[in-house]
Structure 1
Amino acid sequence: MKQAKVISANEMKRLLAVVETGKHSARNRIAIMLSYYAGLRVGEIAALKNSDVFDKDFNVKDQIQLKAAYTKGNKARVVFVSDKLKREIRAFAKSVSNLVADRPFLVTQKNTPFSPNTLCQLFGKLYSDAGIDGASSHSGRRSFITKLAHSGISPKVIMTLAGHQHLTTTQRYIDVNDEMMREAVEVI
């Protein structure tokens, strides 16, 4: 099975430029950012409620507690929210007219919760509109894991952040290209 494309910095810029010109740009941008900066799966993003992301005063939480029902492995896990992602969430919150704790974090244009399938289709359309071949709803997650690995983060930490039970699963997500291998041998 072909894996989702890992998104380069230039492709991400192009994707965000396309998102900014389309309808529902704030919503679409935060969906991409949750995937790219936190490694969330589309099903996890679709399941989020405002109360998962914001505290009672609607400040962005430092950690998102993913309930077992949200995750692929049906195991609860903690997602750490980086400063970059916090800024993105705050910007998104400003675009929402009425934040209610028990409401879905992201809603469709009909103001209904996203299903994982509908969100997956949205990601596909955004990547296609940006002309990024081979990208899918899993590209942000693969990019997140690959960037961590290439930054020297411990494989055990990456595995835990990704919510994987086995290191071999995490290793399959990590992309390697010629430029990376060239840089690696120059370290010696």
Structure 2
Amino acid sequence: MALGNQAKTLTDVQQRAVLAYLDTTMDAKRNRVMFLLSVDAGLRAKEIALLEWSMVTDSAGDLTDEIRLEDRSSKGRSGGVVFMSKRLQAALAIYAADQSLNGTVIKSQRRRWMSAQVVTNWFFKLYRSLGYEGCSSHSGRRTAITRWARSISTVGGSLRDVQSLARHSSLQMTQRYIEVSEDAMKRVVG
């Protein structure tokens, strides 16, 4: 992904605006989960489309606090454990209450699975309807990775931990996802 063509990241204000907008849509619970899988868990469109209930539930069928993403549902062999934020866990629990917990988590209004292209188109339409130019299905993932990179040192972690969270094979790829903050650079220099 070339630097000049990267999807824009979302500010906290924009994220709140998206969530408020989604609450007014048909399938609001599903839509909220889709958005949070992107912006909080950093999932790719393909991973959102292929996410199954068995990847977010334990053997008793109860929701867990992590996503056990299988290689077949991810890019290359980048499956693994993806930790869920509290707000994603809460949204998923609300959504799950109305669902039969088998098959894919995200389904169309006709209760069929969605392809990665349909998920990509959904994000494009969402951001276009809010006037967010330059945003795409990858904006949530870039936002998540940037947020992780900015806060990982406060919990004793490093950029290698962010690489693991992002499920990237190289640190260079992770670095390309991180949005530069001129304000942060000024503050760290003093």
Q: State the TM-score, normalized to the length of structure 2.
A: 0.90
Find the counterpart in structure 1 of residue 110 from structure 2: 110
Q: How far off its partner does 1:180 sit?
A: 2.0
Separation in 2 of the partners of 1:68 and 1:3? 25
Count residues in correspondence: 183
RMSD between aligned residues: 1.4
Separation in 2 of the partners of 1:8 and 1:133? 13
Separation in 1 of the partners of 2:182 and 2:162? 22
2:63 to 49, 60, 63: 60
Find the counterpart in structure 2 of residue 14 from structure 1: 17
Find the counterpart in structure 1 of residue 76 from structure 2: 73
Q: How far off its partner does 1:177 sit?
A: 2.6
Q: State the TM-score, normalized to the length of structure 1.
A: 0.91
2:38 to 24, 35, 38: 35
SS of alignment partner, residue 21 of structure 1: coil
Find the counterpart in structure 1 of residue 50 from structure 2: 47
Separation in 1 of the partners of 2:25 and 2:101? 25
Separation in 1 of the partners of 2:93 and 2:66? 14
Separation in 2 of the partners of 1:177 and 1:159? 19
Find the counterpart in structure 2 of residue 161 from structure 1: 165
Separation in 2 of the partners of 1:8 and 1:75? 27
What is the percent sequence identity of the aligned residues? 36
Find the counterpart in structure 2 of residue 129 from structure 1: 129
Separation in 2 of the partners of 1:111 and 1:63? 24
Larger mean Cα displacement after TM superposition, 84-93 or 170-179:
84-93
2:186 to 177, 182, 185: 182
- What 5-or-longer segments of structure 2 have no aligned partner? none
SS of alignment partner, residue 58 of structure 2: coil
